[in-house]
Structure 1
C-alpha cells in the first residue's frame, strides 16, 4: 500500500507541475491568473463537496482551512510573478524547497521520527537541486530576483502543507480544497485589484489556460496532494514534491525549448536518487 501512495503522489505532482506551463501560456497578469485558477476550481469541486459523506467540518477547522488558503494564495502570487523573471524549471525548483521548513516543523510540532536514511535522501535531493540551479546557462539580475520570489514561495507552501497535514486527519481532501479555496480567493482578489487592477478573460485563448490551471494544477495536483497527506507523513510528501521541478524541467524542454545542460541533467539524476532513499525511510 505504501508504494501505491508513493506512485499516486508522483502522479499528483506531475499534475501540479503543469501549473508553470499554464501560467506561462496565460495572457492575464500573474496574480489574476492565480485568482482565476482558484475561482474556477470552486464550482468544479462543489458537486463533490455536496455529496461528501463525512461529518461536517467544525468552525475551528474551517478557520484553519481559510488561513491555509491565505498561505496558498501567497504561494501563488509570488510563484506566478517569478515566471516573468526566471525559467519554468527554476521557479518550480525553488518553490518546492519545502523540506527546509517541513522536516524541522514535523519533528518539533508533530513529533515525527526522522531516520538517517531519510536525512540522507533529503541531503541528496537538495544537493541535486543545487547542482540543477547552478547549471543554468544564462544568469542575470532578473533571474536572481525571480529565483528569490520562487524561494519565498516555498515558505508559504510549507505553511499551507503543515496546516492541511494537521486538519487532514479530521476532514476530507475535498473539504480541504473547497474551504481553503475561499481563503485563497479573497487574498488573491485583493492583491489583484491592488497590483494589477480589474482583469478577466475575454476570449477562449485567454480562458483555456485558466481552466487548465483549475483542473490539472489546482484540483488534480493540489487536491491530490491534500488527499495523500492523509495517507503519508508530511515529511515524506515534502520530499516527493521535489520531483515537481524535475518534471517541470522536462515539460519546459518539450514545450518552451528551455534546454538542459549536462550539469542540470546530473542534478535531476541526483534528485531522483535522493527521493529513492527518502521514500524508504
Structure 2
C-alpha cells in the first residue's frame, strides 16, 4: 500500500513538473512579443492582462465558478505581478540588456530564502548548489549581450533587482493561494487586481497606451494567450510542487528566449551563452532531483 501511494505521488509530481516546464517555455515567448508590441512597456503589460481576463473567467467558471470574494493571496499576487512587469520593462529601458537579464534571475535565491524563513521549507545543501548553478548559468547567458549605452545604469540595475523581489513575492502568493483556490480562479482575480495598476502607471509615465498597428494588437493578444497558458500552467503546477523547486525550474525561460531570439531575430549565441544554457538546465535538473522526498 505504501509503495502504491509513493508511486502515485511520484507520478503526480512528474506531471506537475512537466506542466511547469511547459508553462516556463511558453513564458519564454514574452520578450519576443513585448518587442513586437508598439505600446508602452507598462501599457503592454496592461493589455496582456486585459486579453487574458475573459479566458481566465471562462476557465474559472467551468472549474467551479467565481462566486465569493477573492482571497487576499489572489489580490496580492496581482499587485506583485504588476510590480514585476513594470519594474522589469523599465529596467530594460535604463540599464544594459545583460544586467536586466541577470538581476531578475536572482528570483530563486529570494524565493528559497523566503520559503526557508517564513514557510519553514528548509532546503537541502544539494538544492542550494543547484540554485547557484542555475543562477550562474542564466547569468552566463547574459554576458556578452549588447544593449547599447545605458541611459541610467544605477536606476536600471535597481529596477531589475527589484524585479526579482516582486516575482519572488508573486510566486509565494500564488503558492499560498493555491492551497485554497483553483489556478484559473486565482489568476483571474490577480489579473483584475493588477491591470488597473499597470494602466495607471502607464498613464503617469506618459506612455503610448494603445497599440497603433495591427501587429501591435496581435502581439498584445498573443501576450494574453501566453499569460493564460504559460502563467496558468505555472500556477497550476505550483499547487503541487515545493515553491523553491518551481522557482528554479522556470529558469528555463531565458534558455527558450535565447533560442527564439536566435531563430527569429538572428541574435548571436556564442560559446559562453551555450555553456550558460547547459549549466542552467543542469541546475534545473539537479534542483528537481535534490528536492525529491527523502526516503523514510
Q: Note the alpha carbon deviations across 1:237-265, whole angstroms, 9 max, x for none.
A: 00001111111111111112221221121
**TM-score w.r.t. structure 1 length?**
0.90
Q: CA deviation at 1:132?
A: 2.6
Instruction: Pick the aligned partner of 1:125 from 114, 130, 134.
Output: 134
CA distance in 2, matches of 1:104, 1:54: 35
**Match 1:49 to one of 44, 60, 85:** 60
Q: Matches of 2:123 and 2:161 in 1, distance apart?
A: 24
The Cα shift of 1:62 comes to 2.3
Show the counterpart of 1:136.
145
Q: Which residue of 2 aligns with 1:17?
A: 28
Q: 1:50 to 1:119 in 2, by over 3 A?
A: same
Does residue 205 in structure 1 map to residue 215 in structure 2? Answer: yes
The aligned residue for residue 152 of structure 1 is 162
- Look up the match of 1:250: 259
For the 8 Å contact 1:17–1:92, the answer to whether it is kept is: no
Structure with max Cα Rg: 2
Unaligned runs of 5+ in 1: none
Match of 2:175 among 132, 144, 165: 165
Number of the residue aligned with 1:268: 277
Cα 1:257/1:157, change in 2 over 3 Å: same
Q: Within 2, Cα distance between the matches of 1:17 and 1:239?
A: 14
Q: Who is 2:41 aligned against?
A: 30
> Over residues 14-45 of structure 1, what are the superposed CA-to-partner deviations in whole Å (9 max), with x where a residue is unaligned?
11111101000001111111110011111122
> With structure 2 as the length reference, what TM-score do the two structures score?
0.86
Unmatched 5+ residue regions in structure 2? 1-10, 291-296
SS at 2:106's partner residue?
Answer: coil
Equivalences, count: 278
Provide runs of 4+ in structure 1 moved above 6 Å. Answer: 86-90
Q: CA deviation at 1:90?
A: 6.4
2:7 matched residue in structure 1: none
Provide the secondary structure at the position in 1 that maps to 2:63. Answer: coil
Change (3 A) 1:136 1:202: closer
1:20·1:83 contact (CA, 8 Å) conserved in 2? no
